[in-house]
Structure 1
Amino acid sequence: MSSSSKRYLLYIAQSYSYAILRPLQSAIRARGDEVCWFFEGDEVNPSFLKPTEKRLSTVTEVQAWQPDAVLVPGNVVPNFIPGVKVGVFHGFNAGKMNHKGREDHFEIRDCFDLYCTQGPATTLPFIRLAEKFATFKVAETGWPTLDPMFKGDLPQPYAVEGDNRPVILFCSTFSRSLSCAPAVYEQIKAMSTQGDWRWLVQFHPKMSQEIVEKYKALENENLTFVETDNVLPLLKAADVMLCDTSSILIMFLLQGKPVVTFNNKTKRSHLVNVDHIEDIQPALVRVLAKPAELMAKIEQYCDDIHPYRDGLSSERVLTAVDELIAQGTDDLKPKPANLLRHFKMRKKLGYWKL
């Protein structure tokens, strides 16, 4: 490693974060820098790690390696991990409220030195929060996860040669209060037997196993249940999405493709929302025609959420990290101690050294 190169730690707690951070890993390697992975807790499947990817298994190993920066798609990272802490988000702001009655996407947990935001819709609120707390900086970079989608170099494992039917992707969040999967089961079962469309079904990794098994049992020549750690090829394969409140619908919209939601309370004009089961199929028929007014609203929304379509968000993140390292963090206020949160993280990682 040359004296000018940097070390980046990819800090993850869920298996879906592999796909979130791999574009960043590619950009880091292209620069000639070093990159390692670290898994928090036991919800990351280590078998998804590729032979070319390096993992540090303990906090002691991480401290010995001395990363310059830690890239985190989750909400928290311990203060005893070396390097500047960079929040890159695990999804878009879907407007979900936490138990404190605040939008979870904008909850400040006193862990990060830099937030790399996805577009004006999130940048402006984070700038206001940075002015309020003065403990972190903000850079609008776009979301690295989407780089492969915009570069157009995704594999196409869900294409079926000779089958030109429209493809409907059904996704649902795991939260019992927000998930539409139980409510729409019978309707999807009926629609999947009609044969007019091809169905792909994919759920959040935390979805109830009972629901997962019910939908797996629906598999037929028209419906495929998909379990994957990389949803981008899935999004690429579909023409229309049926969803609820899951932030994956925003990733789908960014392709310029329409989404039908069931019982989505946000009432956004870029979505076609229905509240009655019998309205789902007519809504899907309508959006498959891509009505001009709807598509214009989708484009307007996407420009606000994520205006970057060049596939270079990873490079912008690394540039922002370079600037933070060069400037240092001395101009930031010390973060609140948050002793309880850091005690929980020490307990989770089994690390008690000072």
Structure 2
Amino acid sequence: MLASEPYAPAILRPLAAQAQARGHRVAWLAPDAVAAGLRADESRLCSARALWRFRPHAVFATVNRIPPFLPGLQVQLFHGLNLHKRDPRQGQFRMLGLFDLYCAHGPATTGPLQALAGQRRDFSVVQTGWPKLDTLFAGPCAQAHALRAAAAGRPTVMFASTFNAPLSQARDCLPVLEALIARGDRYWLLTLHPLAPADLRQRYQALAGPHACFLDSAHLAAMLHAADVLVCDTSSVVEEFVLLDKPVVTVCHRQPQPCMQDVRAPADIDAAIQRALAAPHALSDARHAYAASIHPQPDGRAAERVLDAVEHRLRSGSPGLRRRSRRVFRRLWRSWRLWRSLLPGKRLRGAC
């Protein structure tokens, strides 16, 4: 499990659990900051020697770039559902020759990826769904019920934001949110992307009180289940909320969809929330249509399908595919720095 970013464990853990249930050995590659959040039963590989001794049959990644010389089958899971966050040539459809298997989420990604696979003929594509959502589709947890109880009968509104400076509306929305939270007629669930600036995170944490709570993204599934309405920018959290068939208010979305109520200024958030609460089913048909395109399988078994695809690929090999160029020297310095952060080796002095 290649957990190079703070958001990766939530995506990889359902897959790790399913792999262990099938009798597979599982180990984690993570920099120190991410490794600090690993559980006691999540084994970390800390050196190149440990990695080669482990000899993984497959490496699962959530980021676009990985070191090009990792052993085993390289599997791309992606780190979000949002197709509109970046130009397609810079996002999910940018091919860097680093992966053997792409696990697509739904028709919106499967079709374009299969077209690229036909052109390049050095990787394969299987529509599996996104393992992170297995937890979401399992239904509300005890924490979700606790968050609803904290609202004490008030409408529950969630705010989330991406960290990308051109797309994030967290700073611009802050004065409006301060006033809306102080009003006290709604209960607010606040979260920010794990990579959000520290000063901004502190200001949002300071809003916690009788009318709001701030939670890290590790609690995202509980928050999504507890909320009546989501306020968000161009973040993949929007797509996750849509899959629950709940109303979304977006702020300056890069490419708003018919299922989103998009406002172009933070001052319009309050009125948009009121409209969403008054008619929560108004855009339900549009939400269902969007969900069918981005993630049509809400059965919570994406991790199973990912493993099925990988096991099939390992058994059958890669008939009809060209050998993928490893490009060992491409972006060598960037790859070396990532390699050193994932496998710090002796610098840990036996911490692993």
Matched, 1:36 2:27: yes
* Partner residue in 2 for 1:78: 67
261-270 vs 156-165, which moves further: 156-165
* Partner residue in 1 for 2:9: 18
Written as runs of structure 1 = structure 2, the 5 A alignment for 1:1-354 is: 10-39=1-30, 41-44=31-34, 46-97=35-86, 102-152=89-139, 154-156=141-143, 158-160=147-149, 163-329=152-318, 331-338=320-327, 339-350=329-340
276-285 vs 160-169, which moves further: 160-169
| TM-score normalized with structure 2 length | 0.90
Once residues 111 and 103 of structure 2 are traced to their aligned partners in structure 1, the CA distance between those partners, rounded to angstroms, is 12
Quickly say closer, same or farther: Cα 1:300–1:228, change in 2 above 3 A: closer
Which 5+ residue runs of structure 1 have no aligned equivalent? 1-9
- State the 1:109 CA deviation: 1.6
Runs of 4+ aligned residues of structure 1 deviating over 6 Å after TM superposition are none
* 8 Å contact from structure 1 (residues 135, 333) kept in 2: yes
Q: How big is the alpha-carbon RMSD for the aligned residues of Structure 1 and Structure 2?
A: 1.9
* 8 Å contact from structure 2 (residues 107, 294) kept in 1: yes
- State the 1:161 CA deviation: 5.2
Structure with the bigger percentage of strand: 1
75-84 vs 195-204, which moves further: 75-84
Once residues 245 and 48 of structure 2 are traced to their aligned partners in structure 1, the CA distance between those partners, rounded to angstroms, is 42
Instruction: Report the 3-state secondary structure (helix = DSSP H, G, I; strand = E; otherwise coil) of the residue aligned with 2:29.
Output: strand
* 8 Å contact from structure 2 (residues 158, 224) kept in 1: yes
Once residues 154 and 191 of structure 1 are traced to their aligned partners in structure 2, the CA distance between those partners, rounded to angstroms, is 27
Quickly say closer, same or farther: Cα 1:162–1:70, change in 2 above 3 A: closer
Could you list the per-position Cα deviations for residues 209-256 of structure 1 after superposition, in whole angstroms to 9, with x for gaps in the alignment?
222222222222101122243421121221111011011111111111
Where relative contact order (Cα < 8 A, 6+ residues apart) is larger, the structure is 2
Once residues 189 and 77 of structure 1 are traced to their aligned partners in structure 2, the CA distance between those partners, rounded to angstroms, is 40
Instruction: Report the 3-state secondary structure (helix = DSSP H, G, I; strand = E; otherwise coil) of the residue aligned with 2:262.
Output: strand
Once residues 329 and 345 of structure 1 are traced to their aligned partners in structure 2, the CA distance between those partners, rounded to angstroms, is 26
State the percentage of identical aligned residues. Answer: 35
- State the 1:121 CA deviation: 0.6
Quickly say closer, same or farther: Cα 1:126–1:151, change in 2 above 3 A: same
237-246 vs 208-217, which moves further: 208-217
* Partner residue in 2 for 1:5: none
Aligned length: 338
* 8 Å contact from structure 2 (residues 246, 280) kept in 1: no
**Aligned partner letter, 2:335:** M
| TM-score normalized with structure 1 length | 0.90
Instruction: Report the 3-state secondary structure (helix = DSSP H, G, I; strand = E; otherwise coil) of the residue aligned with 1:89.
Output: coil
* 8 Å contact from structure 1 (residues 172, 179) kept in 2: yes
Structure with the bigger percentage of helix: 2
Could you list the per-position Cα deviations for residues 71-109 of structure 1 after superposition, in whole angstroms to 9, with x for gaps in the alignment?
1111123232211111011111341226xx724121112
- State the 1:43 CA deviation: 4.2
63-72 vs 328-337, which moves further: 328-337
**Aligned partner letter, 1:58:** S
Quickly say closer, same or farther: Cα 1:59–1:159, change in 2 above 3 A: farther
